[in-house]
Structure 1
Amino acid sequence: MEHIGGSPKAQHLCVLVHGLWGNPNHMNNIAKSLRATFPPEELYLLLAKRNSGSFTYDGIERGGERVCHEIEEEMKMIEEKGGKITKLSIIGYSLGGLVSRYAVGLLEAKGILDRVECMNFTTFATPHLGVRSPLKGWHNHVWNVLGARTLSMSGRQLFIIDQFRDTGRPLLAVLADPKSIFMSGMRKFKRHTLYCNIVNDRSAVYYTTGIQKTDPYRDLDSLKVNWVEGYDNVILDPANPYKAYTKVPDPTSFSSLTVAGLRWLKRIPFMIALGIFVPIGVIGYLLNSIVQNARSSSRIKLYEKGHEGVRIEQYRVPVLLKEMREEVEQVFETINSSQEQEYLRPEDESDAEHLGVDQRSRMKRERRMSVASEPTLALAPAQFEMIDGLDTLNWRKYPVWIQRIRHSHAAIIVRMDRDAFSEGKVVLKHYAQSEFLR
C-alpha cells in the first residue's frame, strides 16, 4: 500500500490504531486522506497491526503494550535508515482510541514523549467512558452485566466492571485520572480532537464518544443544527452545534398516558431484537464468545510469559504519578443499540445508598445542573469522574451526523469502500485538511 510508510526524510510519525475485531485495513481511508494532503517526505504513516482480529479481546493494557512496542520498533527502523522522528501524532478508532491512550502512558513512562514534539491525538467514535448503557434496574443487569462477559478482558474493561492491577479501580477510570502517567502523557499533545456520531452508532453511542453527561440529539426533529462551513450536512459546528425549537404540546394528544405509551413503544426494538436473535444470533454470538474468551485467556497466559516477542516487564510501570467476526459484531451492535438511555431523577438518590458521600453529592450536583438544560444520563459515578478528568484536555469535539446509512460507526472512518459511506469521506477530508497539525 503506497500510502503507508514514508520517506526517511519524514520527521513526523503518525500512528493509526484500529478498533475491536478490526485490522489495519480499517484505517486505510484515514491514511489515504492524510497522504493526499501530506507527502511521504513530510509525514510517515504507521498502521498498527499486532492487535488484529481476536487479539483485541486481550485487554486494553496488552493492546497498548503491543502498540507502544510497534512505535518503538518503527522509530528504531527509521533511524537505521538514516532518518529521525521528531514529531508524533496518534489516531485511534473505536477501541483503538483507548488502546492509544494506554500506549501514550507507556511512551510517557519510558521518556519517549520527551524526545519528540507531541502534535495530534485524535479519536474517531471511541467509547472514552466505556460502553455501559445508561440504564437502571434489571435492564442494567441484563445488558451491562451479561454483555461485559462476552468480550473477554476487553469486555470487562469496556463495561467498567474490572479492577485494574492493585488500584482497585476500573482501567478506564485510571486512564482518566489526572495523576496517572496516561493523563500526563496526553497533556503533552498540542491538539486533542474527537469525532463522534450523534446518531446511528450501534457500537458506541454519543455520550461516550463525545465525553458528555447528556444527549441532546435523541430528538433531532426538535433541533435546528448548525454545520461547519464547507462541510454541510455532515459535521456540526462544535462551538454552536444546534438550536432547539420551542414546542407547544397539544394537551389533548400528549397526556402523561400517551408519553408513557411512547416510552413503552421505544422498548419494542429491544423486544424484537431479543425475539429474533435469541434463537439464532445470540446463541451463535455467545458460543463464539466462549471460544474467543478461551483463546484470549490462553493467549494472555502466553503473553504474560513473554512468548509474543514483547518484553512485558519494560511496560509494567507504575501507572499513578505519586511521583464469524462481522456476524458476531452485528449481533453485539443490534442488542447494544436497542437499549434506551435512562436519566437521573431526584428519587434515584435512594438507589445510591451504597455510594460514598462524595459520589452522592456528585449525583445531586449533576441533577441540579440538568434541571435548566438537558437531563443528565444515568451514568456510573466512575464515568462522571472520567468526564471531569478528560475534559481538562480541552478536546476539540466534532459531532457528526451520518444520514445515508444506519451504521455510522463504520461510516465515520469509511472502514470499507462503500458508496453509502461517502459522508465519512467528508469527515476525513475535514480532519486531514482543517484539523491535523503538521
Structure 2
Amino acid sequence: MMPGRTPEIVLLQMACTIEPSIEKKDQINTFLAQTKINWNRLYTLAERHRLTPFLYNTIQSLPEIPAKFLAALRASYQASTTDGMLKIHHYRLLDKLLTDHAIAHIAYKGIYLAEHCYPNGNFRISGDLDVLVSVADAFKTTQLLEKHQYRLNKKHKLYYEDGEQRLLTELSEISLFKLFYNDSYFDVDLHWKILCFNKDFASFDLNYILSHKEFQNEIQVVLLVTHHGVTNIWQQLYYINDLYFLLNNRAIDWAWLMQEMHRYGMERIFLVGLYWCQKIWNLTLQTSIQQLVDTPGVHKLADSYEKNWESNEPVALSRQVLDQFIFFLKAQTRLKVQAKICITFLTSRVFRASTFKIGKKLIYIPKELGFLTVFIRALRSMYKFLPASH
C-alpha cells in the first residue's frame, strides 16, 4: 500500500472492475486478511466517490464481508440502479421534446457516458441531466421547459427575470427541476457554453462540437477533462472511471486531441487522468502518449490531486474555486497561459453579477455593481474565520 493512502481508498480502487476475475478476488481477499478496514468509512467514501455499484459487484460474494455492510451496499446499489433507469428514460423524453421543437442539442457527462461508454450503464451513477444547446436557442429552450412543468432554481430565476441578454451574458448554464414523485425531482442543467476554468479564459459551445463531427470521441474527452479535471480537480474517483470508459477500445486521434488539450492549457491535467487510468484500469496507451505520462512533473501533479480523495466530503465550493486556480496554474508550462489564468481569475471574480443569501432571502447584484460583490465576499470570508460564539 502506498504511503499516505488509506486502506479504504486502496480497496475502492481495487474494486474498479466490471467482471472481477478469480485473480482479482484472491488479491482482494489477501488484502482484507492483512488489513483492518473501517467499514463505515468505506461506505461513506464509496457513496462520495459514486463507486457503490463497483464495490458491491466486486465484493458481494467474498467471505468475511460484514453482513450489515453488505446489506447497506446492496440497498444503495439497487437504489442507484433504479434512479439511473428513471433518469435515462426521462432524458429520452427530454431529447424528444427538444427534437420535436427543432432545438439542436447534445448530452454529455453522466447520461451520455452511461448510455454510450460504460459496458453496463448501472455502474455509472448520474446526478443532473446535462444538456448543451446553442446560445441562440438557450432562452427559447428555457421557456419551452417552463411550459412543460420545469422550474428554475431561485438563484437562476433572478437572472432570468433580469432579461434574456443578462441571462446569456452573465451565465453559461441554468438549473431546472421537474417534480417526479413526492419530494423527488428530475434536475436538468441546461448549458449554452461549457467553461474551461472561467468565461474569460475559454469556453466550448455547440457550434464548436458540431463543426468537428469527425472528432466526436475526442471532443467528449475535451469536455470531460474540462469538467472533471479543471473545474472539479479530479476529486472523485468516478471521474477517472469516466475517462477510462470514454477512451477504452475507442478510435482516438491522439495528435488532434493532444493539440486541443495543449491549446486550452489542459495537457498535463489530461495526462494526470491518463496516469490514474493506468494505475486503476491498466489502460494501454501508444508510446508517444506513454512517454508524456511517465514524466516526474505529471506524477507529482497526480500526487497533489490524489490527496483530495481521502476526505469524507467533497471540497467546499469556496475552497474549490481557489483550488481550481492553484491546480490549473501548477499544470502549466507556458508563462503566457499562466498569466492568462491569473488575469481571468481576478476579472471573472469582479466584473459579474452575483447572488448572496441574507437570512432566507436571496439578493441579486447586477454586473454594473460587480465591485461591490468583492467586498461582500471578503466580509463573508472573514466571518468564516471568526471564532464561533458560545
Same fold? TM cut 0.5: no
* TM-score between both structures, scaled by the size of structure 1: 0.28
Structure with greater proportional helix content: 2
Give the TM-score normalised by the residue count of structure 2: 0.30
